[in-house]
């Protein structure tokens, strides 16, 4: 099996540099410049958001359970 890391060019929101981003998965990329993990968002255009706060306290900010009653 073949492992290929996808490398794209993008602007890192953490260091504000236009640099190469290495794809870790389909959604997560790592900045080659500062090493920040970025979450790729595709909604019309591709943008990258830092994901450094998602794993520190075990909380998942994007998934909220709404309990009704």
Does 31 bind Zn ion (CB under 5 A)? Our answer is yes
33 binds Zn ion per the rule CB under 5 A: yes
Q: Does 20 bind Zn ion (CB under 5 A)?
A: no
Give the pair of three-digit tokens for residue 35.
């090493």
Asked if 36 and 15 count as a contact pair (C-beta separation under 8 A), the reply is: yes
In 5-51, at which residue ranges do the beta strands (DSSP E only) sit? 7-11, 18-23, 28-31, 37-43, 45-50
Is 7 one of the binding residues for Zn ion (CB under 5 A)?
Answer: no
Question: Of 10-18, 22-30, 46-54, 58-66, which segment contacts Zn ion by CB under 5 A?
Answer: 10-18
| Positions that interact with Zn ion (CB under 5 A) | 12, 14-15, 31, 33-34, 36
């Amino acid at each position: 099996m073949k492992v290929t890391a996808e490398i794209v060019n993008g602007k890192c929101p953490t260091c504000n540099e236009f640099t190469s981003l290495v794809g870790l998965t389909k959604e997560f990329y790592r900045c080659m410049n500062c090493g920040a993990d970025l979450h790729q968002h595709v909604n019309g255009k591709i943008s990258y958001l830092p994901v450094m706060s998602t794993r520190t306290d075990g909380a998942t900010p994007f998934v909220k359970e709404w309990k009704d009653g």
